Amino acid sequence: DAKTTQPPSMDCAEGRAANLPCNHSTISGNEYVYWYRQIHSQGPQYIIHGLKNNETNEMASLIITEDRKSSTLILPHATLRDTAVYYCIVKEGTGANNLFFGTGTRLTVIP
């Protein structure tokens, strides 16, 4: 599985967009990009995933660069409840395997 690199921490003002970057320069063609988050004392929560195209759901948008070597998770209007550790994970689509969560980015939304 490709390795990912994320900044250890970020701050974002409440109501503003939070843009969380992730580098995955060794990603291969059949590997998906997944984003999860973990709010304090809760289980990890799936947010979104993508392969090549940009994706959007009710929680967030995922922008993947054309060369697929990096991506950005966008929370369009961050709220205090979005304060969490965000994990970017790269994993191939086939095979039954676990997810390696790494250390993630600790996002703090500031009132």
Partner 1 sequence: DARVTQTPRHKVTEMGQEVTMRCQPILGHNTVFWYRQTMMQGLELLAYFRNRAPLDDSGMPKDRFSAEMPDATLATLKIQPSEPRDSAVYFCASGLFIRESPRTQYFGPGTRLLVL
Looking at 7-15, 21-29, 69-77, 86-94, which segment touches partner 1 (CB under 8 A)?
86-94
Looking at 16-24, 58-66, 68-76, 92-100, which segment touches partner 1 (CB under 8 A)?
92-100
Among residues 23 and 49, whose Cβ is nearest to partner 1? Answer: 49
Of 63, 101, 106, 108, which one interacts with partner 1 (CB under 8 A)?
101
Counting contacts by CB under 8 A, is residue 94 touching partner 1?
A: yes
Per rule CB under 8 A, count of chain residues that contact partner 1: 20
Reported for 67-71, long-range contacts at CB under 8 A and 24+ positions apart, including other chains, are 68/24, 68/27, 68/33, 69/23, 69/24, 69/25, 69/27, 70/21, 70/22, 70/23, 70/24, 70/25, 71/21, 71/22, 71/24, 71/33
Would you tell me which residues interact with partner 1 (CB under 8 A)?
32, 34, 42-46, 49, 51, 91, 93-99, 101-103
